[in-house]
Amino acid sequence: MALNHLNLTVKIHPVVLFQIVDAYERRNADSHRVIGTLLGSSDKGIVEVTNCFCVPHKEYADQVEAELSYAMDVYDLNRRVNSSENIVGWWATGNEVTNHSSVIHEYYSRECNNPVHVTLDTSLQGSRMGLKAYVCVSLGVPSGKQGCMFTPIPVEISCYDPEVYGLQLCSKTMSTGAARGRNVQPMLDIAQVSEAGSKMSVLLEQVLTYVEDVLANRVPADNAVGRSLLDLVNSVPHMSNEQFSEMFNSNVKDLLMVVTLSQLLKTQLQLNEKLTLLTSV
Whether residue 31 contacts residue 67, with contact meaning beta carbons closer than 8 Å, is answered with: no
Nearer residue to other proteins within complex by CB, 157 or 225: 157
Report the nearest approach of other proteins to the CB of residue 261 (Å).
8
Beta carbons within 8 Å of 14's beta carbon, 6+ residues apart? 157, 159, 163, 166, 167
**Nearer to other proteins by C-beta: 146 or 209?**
209
The alpha carbons of the chain give a radius of gyration, in whole angstroms, of 28
User: 6, 134 in Cβ contact below 8 A?
Assistant: no
Q: Which is nearer to other proteins, 50 or 136 (CB)?
A: 50
* 24-49 burial: b if 16+ Cβ within 10 Å, else e: beeeeeeeebbbbbbbbebeeeebbb
Nearest distance, CB of residue 217 and other proteins, angstroms: 23
Beta bridge partners of 38: 52, 89
Cβ distance to other proteins smaller for residue 17 or 97:
17
Q: Beta-carbon neighbour count of residue 249 at 10 Å?
A: 10
Q: How far is the CB of 146 from other proteins (least distance, A)?
A: 35
Long-range contacts of 69-75 (CB under 8 A, 24+ apart): 71/37, 74/37, 75/37, 75/39
Of 15 and 148, the one with the shorter C-beta distance to other proteins is 15
Minimum distance of other proteins from residue 28's CB (angstroms): 7
Task: Look at residues 97, 136, 113 and name the one whose alpha carbon lies nearest to residue 47.
Answer: 113
For residue 109, the minimal CB distance to other proteins (Å) is 23
Nearer to other proteins, 93 or 136 (CB): 93
Q: How far is the CB of 179 from other proteins (least distance, A)?
A: 8
**Identity of the residue numbered 257:** M
